[in-house]
Structure 1
Amino acid sequence: MKVLVLHSLYAPHIGGGAEIVVRQIAEGLQRRGCDTVVLATGPEVGLHEEELDGVRIYRAGLDNFYWHFTQSRPSRLLRLGWHYRDSYNRSMRRHVRQVIEHERPDVVVCNNLTGWSISAWDEISAAGLPIVQVLHDLYLLCPKDTMFDKGRSCERQCGMCSAFRRPHAAASAQVAAVIGVSRFVLDRITAEGYFSRASQHVVHNSVDSSHSHSANPRPRHSGLLRFGYIGTLSENKGVGWLIEQFQALSINATLEIAGRGKLDYEAKLNELADPSKVRFVGYQPSERFMQGIDVLVVPSIWAEPFGLVAVEGCAQHLPIIATNMGGLPEIIQDNLNGLLCTPADPDSLGRAMLKLYLDSGLRHRLSSQARDSVAAFLDTERMLDQYQSILHSTLHGRSAQDEPEFADHFAPQVETAGD
């Protein structure tokens, strides 16, 4: 089987957990004998080929107002224009066509479509190839892919999101199989009429814990307790909420924050934080960072599609404080491997931190149960088995009458400037 993996970004460009998992899948399938090729966007004009750890990679220059993998925040008007063009970016089809013609894959696994848009589906269908769509985020419902606005998670699509995504549900009928990285994200998107003809699957993301240095539960801790956050520094991740709640506690503890974000938001967080209590440590390898903390906090105030960092924390025997948002409750179970809180009750985060600070016995019990509780998420070979099974059934179970009859008629009628 020859597999083309399409994704928004690819290493060394890492925007979040999706990039880590997509690389695991690409390299894992290649290791198992599948000829695997990756197609991702890049900052340079044109199509460029390279190889990374045995996998061929094509990077296509993003034909939009700017490349989305940047720390600077463009103006609101420019962002609006970017998202409008990304609702159906016809210009990006040529890169998909070039790679398909050159590589001749048997099946295409689409991941995050940011930058590509659903025009990639039309190009793949035009080539007569089956599409397997993996849902890592809420892009198909929201141009920002978060369904988060004005400090809270959206319960439904707003008017602008609905307008930008009007043809998408119908266009998704050309997808042969859809995989949600959590039950939450699969149900959330299919509830809006997506993937009416696709087989549906849930394959939870997994992490490779074989090199973990933390083989045993954390020892009971006395004295200074170290709370930690690692991930993107953005409003929807709840970092500001975490800082405020932590600083309101009168406890002998520190808070370390690892990660990067848009420069303007990083500046806001630095203004909010008391440097005597909160320390920003920049980008850190997750395993090394987690070995230096006692409690991991995942304070997402949006509907997190999965939350791979929570799995990584449990693998390191860390008790987790997480919100009950999105796919996080599929990982963290209250009083088994962590404590759940809710943005609907802002002080619930502070109470959870205080509870773990005061109750060392609870902290030790959660730590001792953490790794076993996520055992299924620590088996990357099992994840690869599931992906391979879905790919084989999609490829070999598809008959001629199943060929989708979709093409350009799902594109917006109004062309954007520069097309």
Structure 2
Amino acid sequence: MRICFVSNLYPPNVLGGAEIVVEKMANAMNKRGHTVIVITTSPDDSMHILKEEGITVYQLNTTRLYPTYKQTEPQGVKKPLWHVFDLWNNKTLNVIKEILVKESIDIVHINNFKGLSLSCFKSGKDLDIPVVYESHDFSLICPRANLIRGNNTLCQNRNVICNEYVRVQRKLLSDNVDLVISPSQFMIDTFRDNNFFNNTDCVKIPLGVEFESNRTVKNYDTIDITYIGTLGKHKGVHTLITAFKQINNENIRLHIIGKGYDEEEFKKMGDTDDRIIFHGFVDNRDILKYYEMTNILVIPSICYDNSPLVIYESFSTGTPVIGSSIGGIPELITEGYNGFLFESGNSDSLKEKLVKVINDKELLKTLECNAFDSLPSDSMEIMISQIIREYDQLVEQ
């Protein structure tokens, strides 16, 4: 089969987990003998065609005002204008259609699309090629994609401008999607609650990891607590730092891995505590060693995370997870079995769960065993097989 993955970002241009998931899918499909191409945005003003281990990557330069991978940097009027321009882009539509014809594509698998506009969905429909949408965020129902307001609180009711933005997106998307895939039921339900995909088949397919499952032998002399992800307030890193600093124990360490627009503020929060270590951005190919040395992974999000890849990766090494009871996170963490859940944004609630695990090594060891059993050893193979079955059904229709 000839598969086209569409993703607004693709390594080495990385801002979050979605583009890493796309790369893993593309590599896995390629290894299975399928022909894979990737369409993404360009990091500069030029179009590039790259060849990477048998995969052709088209980097398009159709984005206006600023490159997609710099979306965390612009301030002021540029951001809302960028979103308006990005609603529909005929240049993107025509370029993608040319690529799909040139590459004789059988199926289009769209992931995060901001920067390529909603026109990318129509490209497949115009050519009678089945279109799959795998949703990693809430871009269709929120300009910020995370349902978080500017003051870092959950958006419970959209304002008039956002309502109009969503209405326009719903109209432009039309019936250009044949199948929706999501790793969490929460995201599927949220879209349908907002009148998206009510008449479109939606299927939950959990993520897979490339790491060979290998339960790590842990050290308990020092309890290593780790956060891996974007350094933004919507991810609740400040909640984690606050909770950690309140724990009076010299034999614990907090490792913070990632980059983001609130990074400097978080570093200032941790300045007075030598137990807090910032490692900066770590390439996904080098991340395994951090899971292996970690006793507890923490996902402190205050936004509706979909199905964080880091939880799957953590389980593959037998590392339990403490996460916010929000979004798709509770679909992965079973309280007291492979980790714990805490009230999102509540540092006291998080502190209580951390102390519970830190002070009970036998509990921690039990959580490790259960975490390892929470992920099938062939999770990537299971995910790819499920996706291929969906592809086959669409192509045969």
Using the size of structure 1 for normalisation, the TM-score is 0.88
Question: How does 1:282-361 map onto structure 2 within 5 Å?
Answer: 282-284=280-282, 285-343=286-344, 345-361=346-362
Task: Give 2:166's aligned residue.
Answer: 165
Q: Are the equivalent residues in 2 in contact too, given 1:172–1:195 (CA < 8 A)?
A: no
Q: How many residues align?
A: 390
Q: Answer yes or no: is 1:15 the counterpart of 2:12.
A: no
Task: Give 1:242's aligned residue.
Answer: 240
Q: Are the equivalent residues in 2 in contact too, given 1:38–1:55 (CA < 8 A)?
A: yes
For residues 167 and 217 of structure 1, the distance between their equivalents in structure 2, rounded to whole angstroms, comes to 52
Q: Which amino acid letter does the alignment assign opposite residue 255 of structure 2?
A: E
Q: Which amino acid letter does the alignment assign opposite residue 195 of structure 1?
A: F
Q: Are the equivalent residues in 2 in contact too, given 1:297–1:322 (CA < 8 A)?
A: yes
For residues 144 and 193 of structure 2, the distance between their equivalents in structure 1, rounded to whole angstroms, comes to 19
Q: Are the equivalent residues in 1 in contact too, given 2:298–2:322 (CA < 8 A)?
A: yes
- Deviation readout 1:174-201 (Å, 9 max, x if unpaired): 2111111211111111221212442211
Q: Are the equivalent residues in 2 in contact too, given 1:229–1:296 (CA < 8 A)?
A: yes
Give secondary structure in 2 for the equivalent of 1:296. Answer: strand
Q: Answer yes or no: is 1:40 the counterpart of 2:40.
A: yes
Q: 1:346 offset after TM fit, Å?
A: 3.6
Q: 1:235 offset after TM fit, Å?
A: 0.9
Give secondary structure in 2 for the equivalent of 1:347. Answer: helix
Residue among 270, 277, 288 paired with 1:279: 277
1:389 and 1:172, CA in 2 relative to 1: closer, same or farther beyond 3 A? farther
Q: 1:71 offset after TM fit, Å?
A: 8.0
- Deviation readout 1:296-317 (Å, 9 max, x if unpaired): 1111111101111011112111
For residues 63 and 72 of structure 2, the distance between their equivalents in structure 1, rounded to whole angstroms, comes to 18
Q: Which amino acid letter does the alignment assign opposite residue 167 of structure 1?
A: V
1:90 and 1:165, CA in 2 relative to 1: closer, same or farther beyond 3 A? farther
For residues 354 and 121 of structure 1, the distance between their equivalents in structure 2, rounded to whole angstroms, comes to 48
- Deviation readout 1:347-402 (Å, 9 max, x if unpaired): 101111111111112111101211101227x51111111111111111111xxxxx
Identify which of structures 1 and 2 has the higher relative contact order when contacts are C-alpha pairs closer than 8 Å and 6+ apart. Answer: 1
Task: Give 2:226's aligned residue.
Answer: 228
Q: Are the equivalent residues in 2 in contact too, given 1:295–1:321 (CA < 8 A)?
A: yes
Q: Are the equivalent residues in 2 in contact too, given 1:218–1:368 (CA < 8 A)?
A: no
For residues 246 and 317 of structure 2, the distance between their equivalents in structure 1, rounded to whole angstroms, comes to 28
For residues 278 and 88 of structure 1, the distance between their equivalents in structure 2, rounded to whole angstroms, comes to 44
- Deviation readout 1:154-213 (Å, 9 max, x if unpaired): 234333322222133343422111111211111111221212442211111111222x5x
Task: Give 1:364's aligned residue.
Answer: 365
Flag structure 1 segments of 5+ consecutive residues without an equivalent.
398-419
Taking only aligned residues, the RMSD between alpha carbons, in angstroms, comes to 1.9
Task: Give 2:79's aligned residue.
Answer: 79
Q: 1:271 offset after TM fit, Å?
A: 1.4
Q: Are the equivalent residues in 2 in contact too, given 1:42–1:67 (CA < 8 A)?
A: yes
Task: Give 1:416's aligned residue.
Answer: none
Q: Are the equivalent residues in 2 in contact too, given 1:174–1:197 (CA < 8 A)?
A: no
Task: Give 2:263's aligned residue.
Answer: 266
Question: How does 1:36-115 map onto structure 2 within 5 Å?
Answer: 36-70=36-70, 73-115=73-115
Q: Which amino acid letter does the alignment assign opposite residue 164 of structure 2?
A: A
Q: 1:46 offset after TM fit, Å?
A: 4.0
Q: Which amino acid letter does the alignment assign opposite residue 375 of structure 1?
A: P
For residues 360 and 3 of structure 2, the distance between their equivalents in structure 1, rounded to whole angstroms, comes to 50
Task: Give 2:385's aligned residue.
Answer: 385
Give secondary structure in 2 for the equivalent of 1:37. Answer: strand
1:121 and 1:216, CA in 2 relative to 1: closer, same or farther beyond 3 A? closer
Give secondary structure in 2 for the equivalent of 1:69. Answer: helix
Give secondary structure in 1 for the equivalent of 2:144. Answer: coil
Q: Answer yes or no: is 1:26 the counterpart of 2:23.
A: no
Q: Are the equivalent residues in 2 in contact too, given 1:331–1:374 (CA < 8 A)?
A: no
For residues 72 and 109 of structure 2, the distance between their equivalents in structure 1, rounded to whole angstroms, comes to 30
Flag structure 2 segments of 5+ consecutive residues without an equivalent.
none
For residues 342 and 231 of structure 2, the distance between their equivalents in structure 1, rounded to whole angstroms, comes to 20
Q: Are the equivalent residues in 1 in contact too, given 2:298–2:323 (CA < 8 A)?
A: yes
The 4+ residue runs of structure 1 with deviation greater than 4 A are none
Q: Are the equivalent residues in 1 in contact too, given 2:109–2:131 (CA < 8 A)?
A: yes
Q: Are the equivalent residues in 2 in contact too, given 1:231–1:260 (CA < 8 A)?
A: yes
Q: Are the equivalent residues in 2 in contact too, given 1:218–1:318 (CA < 8 A)?
A: no
Task: Give 2:148's aligned residue.
Answer: 148
Q: 1:345 offset after TM fit, Å?
A: 3.9
Q: 1:10 offset after TM fit, Å?
A: 1.3
Give secondary structure in 1 for the equivalent of 2:27. Answer: helix
For residues 233 and 123 of structure 1, the distance between their equivalents in structure 2, rounded to whole angstroms, comes to 35
Q: Are the equivalent residues in 2 in contact too, given 1:151–1:235 (CA < 8 A)?
A: yes
Q: Are the equivalent residues in 2 in contact too, given 1:169–1:195 (CA < 8 A)?
A: no
1:123 and 1:67, CA in 2 relative to 1: closer, same or farther beyond 3 A? same
For residues 72 and 105 of structure 2, the distance between their equivalents in structure 1, rounded to whole angstroms, comes to 36
Q: Are the equivalent residues in 1 in contact too, given 2:6–2:110 (CA < 8 A)?
A: yes
For residues 130 and 288 of structure 1, the distance between their equivalents in structure 2, rounded to whole angstroms, comes to 39
Identity, in percent, stands at: 27
For residues 301 and 83 of structure 2, the distance between their equivalents in structure 1, rounded to whole angstroms, comes to 24
Q: 1:327 offset after TM fit, Å?
A: 1.0
